Structure 1
């Protein structure tokens, strides 16, 4: 049986600060930059750093879907990353960190170890 690791939840911003169909950048207490995205169905959190360019720009990417899978396209080179997992759909060898996210009392919270 696998042990389930508990999350430490960090309040990031009010939900209304994340525009529907877009993303915002946030800084976690440990200095990690995350991109928070809001779609009609859910809120997601990924690393904000584009692994192809090294720039912290994913929060400014374009939201969409590929075959029904919600994605963000990097504003730098247009690679698409699955919002739920961080997997790059254009290069199976590449992935960005995906973080658990929840809404508590109207506040977006990101989970970490």
Structure 2
């Protein structure tokens, strides 16, 4: 059985800006994209600087791929897969998301 954690109302997320949440003891960066309305969640921890800053990253796209760039050293990450587009050996964990009755929920594992 899958467990979903309610995070916030969809309207609380400013499009193309990140927000941070604590899910099962891990910090998660959540983004609502303005062009598609899609919600994405990745680890908040920047693997290069080791700081919890990804929710403050710059949202954009590279060749049609939605991205977030670290505010520390500007490495870009694919919001769909978590893969670093500047270093193929590095990736962020990606968290499944859904909207349920106007609330953003993140899959936090098996119940």
TM-score normalised to structure 1 length: 0.92
| 3-state SS of 1:16 partner | helix
Q: What is the RMSD of the two structures over their aligned residues, measured on CA atoms? A: 0.8
Q: Deviations along 1:33-92, whole A, 9 cap, x unmatched? A: 000001031100000000000000000000000001000000000000000111000000
**In proportion to residue count, which structure has more strand?**
2
Alignment of 1:1-113 (within 5 A): 6-28=1-23, 30-39=24-33, 40-41=35-36, 42-113=38-109
TM-score normalised to structure 2 length: 0.93
Give the gaps of 5 or more residues in structure 1: 1-5
Give the gaps of 5 or more residues in structure 2: none
